[in-house]
Chain A
Amino acid sequence: MSKRTDSNGYTIVFAIIMVLVVGALLAFFASSLKPNIDENKRLEKQQNILYAMGVNENDESSANFVSTTVAGAEFVKYIKKQIVLEVDGDVVTSQQNRDEYMAENNNQEPYLIDIKQQQTFAKEGKQRKLPLFIGEKDGKTFYVAPIYGKGLWDAIWGYVAMDENMVVQGAYFDHKGETPGLGANIKQRFFMDDFIGEHLLTENGDFAGINVAKGNNDPKNEEKTDNEVDAIAGATITGNGVTAMIKADLALYVPYFKTLKK
């Protein structure tokens, strides 16, 4: 039995046409839906930052953002300043406010700065820009910094809100593809809430970060100055990723916090 569709020529022509048609279709969907997707991502960043500084709709157990419909207004209401820092060693070499940054960067809001891209710049020896969001709520000032790193399977990132002594006031973590039920639990309340009140600095004022520690002898997390929180069982590598991104990214902000003390 020899069918027309069995010939090599037909097979190759079919494959080529198929690839062209499917490619065009996917390109059409991707580009026509891009504005909606970008808008969703933008609102999510605002929600994340607000969450870290305690503007959220948490109930007793689950983490809930402020709704997307009010996120924009709440962001303007609570985030008083967005600044973009450049540091060199222990010195803040440049500090731009939102308007200065936007004038230089095609009107890009500082909270939309791509942290992964900035980390790549730093690796290439270029100057890394460090966004910092200064919020006020109930008379308290929060300094919210973005962090970005890698977990077990894929990227993990988060926002950490601190006071002027680098004591954590709130944290939000998220992930792209950590294991559900294990590593994915870094975005659960029981893990994120452990960070609240933890000190990033040692008593001497040196930066120590916060270890997501197994074998922590303080599982109830009553000790806030031990630079440790309790790890999640079965999520060692994700937890190590959280430790690493806190250490690497928040250490860069230390020079700025030193200027606050002067």
Chain B
Amino acid sequence: MGLLSKKDAALITDPLLDNNPITIQVLGICSALAITAELKASIVMALSVMAVLALGNVVISLLRNVIPSKIRIIVQLIVVAALVIIVDLILRAFAYELSKTLSVFVGLIITNCIIMGRFEAFALANKPWRSFLDGIGNAAGYGLILVIVGFFRELLGSGTLLGFKVLGDPIEKTGLYALGYENNGFMLLSPMALIVLGVIIWIQRSKNSSLIEEH
């Protein structure tokens, strides 16, 4: 990446794999289980978190020298809550159907540990540009896992991707269904998201043994 120095680029690439907020830091699990039954909801959740985290990191970073340390957690909470409410209002004004699907989960963004975690661990100690990159990187790492889980859950659970019937029609018995294939309704339930997530963590750690903790 010519635009970014090596150090800055690492802020984006690290959280994608070796320091992924979900699979390595095990943050943001709640929303990863809740909304990944469809690929579309995963993508929207990932983008919403990206917007909130990048903006929030910048705001916190700009304020880092003036925030009183005694109430810094409350200040972080106010910043993220305000941003989330604004995102929610914008969704309700311009993407109403989507906002209804996400209405339950918009509140989950506020309590998403990734956001508070990055504010506290990174933005309070770094300059705005680096904080911005850190926010994008971590949200991308979070989003990547969400999209992978959403992809498998929607494909195996409903036989669709983004609503398109990629495996044929289950009622008319076309495509794969003609061969006797059936959708697995269990994939649509949250427990399967945890299992998919577990498989992702397993694969990741088997590829990179330095990630395995010693006990």
Contact = CB atoms under 8 A, between A and B. Distances in A.
A37 interface: yes
B109 to A, nearest CB: 15
Contact of B82 (A3, A15, A22, A44): A22
Interface stretch (B62-70, B133-141, B197-205): B62-70
A102 interface: no
B212 interface: no
A234 B159 CA distance: 24
A26 B92 contact: no
Interface residues of A, number: 26
B103 A60 contact: no
Contacts of A19: 78
A22 B190 CA distance: 35
Interface in A122-137: none
Nearest to B74: A15
A6 B89 contact: no
B171 A15 contact: no
B93 interface: yes
A5 B35 CA distance: 40
A177 B171 CA distance: 30
A177 B107 CA distance: 11
A181 B188 contact: yes
B66 A180 contact: no
Interface string A7-32: 00011001100110010011001100
Interface residues of B, number: 29
Interface in B99-138: 103-104
A176 B89 contact: no
A37 B103 CA distance: 14
B75 A181 contact: no
Given A26-B82, A26-B85, A180 B70 contact: no
Nearest to A3: B69
A18 B75 contact: yes
Nearest to B94: A36
Interface in B79-94: 79, 82, 85-86, 89-90, 92-94
Contact of B86 (A10, A15, A29, A40): A29
Given A14-B68, A30-B89, A180 B34 contact: yes
A61 interface: yes
B93 A10 contact: no
A180 B89 contact: no
Contact of B71 (A11, A26, A40, A44): A11
B70 A6 contact: yes
A19 B34 CA distance: 32
A36 B93 contact: yes
Contact of B89 (A15, A18, A29): A29
Interface string A139-180: 000000000000000000000000000000000000011001
Nearest to B171: A60
Contacts of A181: 37, 188-190
B96 A40 contact: yes
A61 B171 contact: yes
A56 to B, nearest CB: 14
B104 A177 contact: yes
Nearest to A153: B104
A142 B65 CA distance: 65
A22 B78 contact: yes
A5 B90 contact: no
Contacts of B79: 22
B151 to A, nearest CB: 18
Contacts of A33: 89-90, 92-93
Query: 5 smallest A-B Cβ distances: which pairs?
Result: A36-B93, A40-B96, A11-B68, A33-B93, A22-B82
Given A5-B68, A5-B69, A15-B71, 19 more contacts: A5-B65, A10-B68, A11-B70, A11-B71, A14-B66, A14-B67, A18-B78, A19-B78, A22-B79, A25-B82, A26-B86, A36-B92, A37-B93, A44-B96, A180-B34, A180-B37, A180-B104, A181-B37, A181-B190
Interface of B: 34-35, 37, 65-71, 74-75, 78-79, 82, 85-86, 89-90, 92-94, 96, 103-104, 171, 188-190
